């Protein structure tokens, strides 16, 4: 049975005070969500302490947005596994397109970060997906296959979540057709050695389209940016109608 994972990616949003305010509204709204839905909040590093303190004993899981492959060292601005695991976090986003695009993340560094996450007992959420230009040029399938091939070398697929995030759909309001997302996710699954890896869709997921997205047979959850910032909207996404 594949797990359903609904994760909010807060990106560079929310101070500690704002994170706390979010929790006050959010936790009660998702109380009744079916048990088999894993709810994850991926906050900025500075909010992880607040999240972990206030979610102790709750079903809501905490995630980070990056991890370095060394335990410690002269890597200004980076964060390591031992620093993250102090916060009782379970997940970490790796290879988000914003990291690849703006911070020079490559498939090689993505691979190192994935393995580091697993070494520290964290489940990485690996993001893959094509640009508009690559889609228009008919390169979507080959690009994603190449990303998977390079990113997953030596990675344990039993402790992994993948997010298919077409870059042109991120933060644009332009969602990928759910049937097309379903097709690409099926293709991703066909490349894996472990059949039960949860594969999410990400890219302008909103309260208004989540039911349709989750009705697709291959889609096991969502990675949500903008719509995860407000308690009501993210709660509606978590409480999608099956
Ligand atoms: P979005 O972001 O939901 O704001 O499009 C998704 C993501 O970047 O993970």
Q: Which domains does the chain have, with CATH numbers?
A: 4-238 (3.20.20.70)
Looking at the predicted structure, is the pLDDT value of residue 14 above 90?
yes
Q: What is the number of the ligand 1 atom nearest to the C-alpha of 93?
A: 9
Catalytic residue among 98, 105, 130, 165: 165
Mean pLDDT on 102-112: 97
Tell how far the Cα of 219 is from the centroid of ligand 1, in angstroms: 16
Note the pLDDT tens digit of each residue in 137-171. Answer: 999 999 999 999 999 999 999 999 999 999 999 98
Pocket test for ligand 1, best of 223, 234, 236, 237 (most atoms within 8 A of CB): 223
Please report the pLDDT score of residue 1 as a whole number. Answer: 82
What mean pLDDT is reported for the chain? 97
Tell how far the Cα of 209 is from the centroid of ligand 1, in angstroms: 13
Question: Could you tell me if the CB of 203 is within 6 A of ligand 1?
Answer: yes
The sign of the dihedral angle between the CA atoms of 170, 175, 179, 180 is negative
Tell how far the Cα of 95 is from the centroid of ligand 1, in angstroms: 13
By residue count, the chain amounts to 242
165: annotated active-site residue: yes
Tell how far the Cα of 74 is from the centroid of ligand 1, in angstroms: 31
d(CA 70, CA 238): 34
Judged by average pLDDT, the poorest of 5-14, 73-82, 166-175, 182-191 is: 166-175
Instruction: Classify burial at 180, counting beta carbons within 10 Å of its beta carbon; exposed 0-12, middle 13-18, buried 19 or more.
Output: middle
Mean pLDDT on 89-102: 97
Question: Could you tell me if the CB of 101 is within 6 A of ligand 1?
Answer: no
Question: Could you tell me if the CB of 9 is within 6 A of ligand 1?
Answer: yes
φ and ψ of 52, to 5 deg? -70, -40
Pocket test for ligand 1, best of 5, 125, 226, 238 (most atoms within 8 A of CB): 226
Looking at the predicted structure, is the pLDDT value of residue 175 above 90?
no
96: annotated active-site residue: yes
Measure Cα distances from 112 to 11, 65, 67, 74, 108 in Å. Answer: 21, 15, 9, 17, 6
d(CA 119, CA 153): 14
Give which of 8, 2, 3, 5 is closest to 227, Cα–Cα. Answer: 8
Q: Are 47 and 55 in contact (CB under 8 A)?
A: no
Looking at the predicted structure, is the pLDDT value of residue 210 above 90?
yes
Tell how far the Cα of 217 is from the centroid of ligand 1, in angstroms: 21
Please report the pLDDT score of residue 174 as a whole number. Answer: 83
Looking at the predicted structure, is the pLDDT value of residue 10 above 90?
yes
Pocket test for ligand 1, best of 12, 98, 203, 228 (most atoms within 8 A of CB): 203
Note the pLDDT tens digit of each residue in 21-71. Answer: 999 999 999 999 999 999 999 999 999 999 999 999 999 999 999 999 999
Looking at the predicted structure, is the pLDDT value of residue 215 above 90?
yes
Q: Where does the pLDDT of residue 188 fall: very low under 50, low under 70, confident under 90, or very high at 90 and above?
A: very high
Measure Cα distances from 118 to 115, 126, 155 in Å. Answer: 5, 12, 8
Please report the pLDDT score of residue 154 as a whole number. Answer: 98
Catalytic residue among 96, 98, 105, 130: 96
Strand (E) or helix (H) holding 142? helix 140-151
Looking at the predicted structure, is the pLDDT value of residue 217 above 90?
yes
């Amino acid at each position: 049975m594949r797990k359903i994972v609904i994760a909010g990616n807060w990106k560079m949003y929310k101070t500690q005070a704002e994170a706390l305010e979010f929790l006050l509204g959010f936790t009660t709204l998702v109380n009744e969500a079916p048990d088999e839905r894993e709810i994850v909040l991926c906050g900025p590093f500075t909010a992880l302490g607040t999240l972990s303190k206030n979610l102790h004993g709750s079903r809501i899981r905490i995630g980070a947005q990056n991890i370095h492959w060394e335990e410690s060292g002269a890597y200004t601005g980076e964060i390591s596994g031992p620093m993250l695991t102090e916060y009782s976090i379970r997940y970490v986003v790796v290879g988000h397109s914003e990291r690849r695009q703006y911070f020079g993340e490559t498939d090689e560094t993505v691979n190192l970060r994935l393995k580091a996450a697993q070494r520290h007992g964290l489940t990485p959420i690996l993001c893959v997906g094509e640009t508009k230009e690559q889609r228009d040029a008919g390169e979507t399938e080959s690009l994603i296959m190449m990303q998977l091939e390079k990113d997953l070398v030596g990675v344990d697929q039993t402790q992994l979540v993948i997010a298919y995030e077409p870059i042109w759909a991120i933060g644009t309001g332009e969602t990928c057709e759910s049937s097309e997302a379903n097709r690409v996710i099926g293709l991703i699954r066909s490349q894996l050695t472990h059949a039960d890896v949860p594969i999410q869709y990400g890219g302008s997921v909103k309260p208004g389209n989540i039911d349709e997205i989750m009705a697709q047979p291959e889609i096991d959850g969502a990675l949500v940016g903008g719509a995860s910032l407000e308690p009501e909207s993210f709660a509606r996404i978590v409480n999608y109608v099956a």
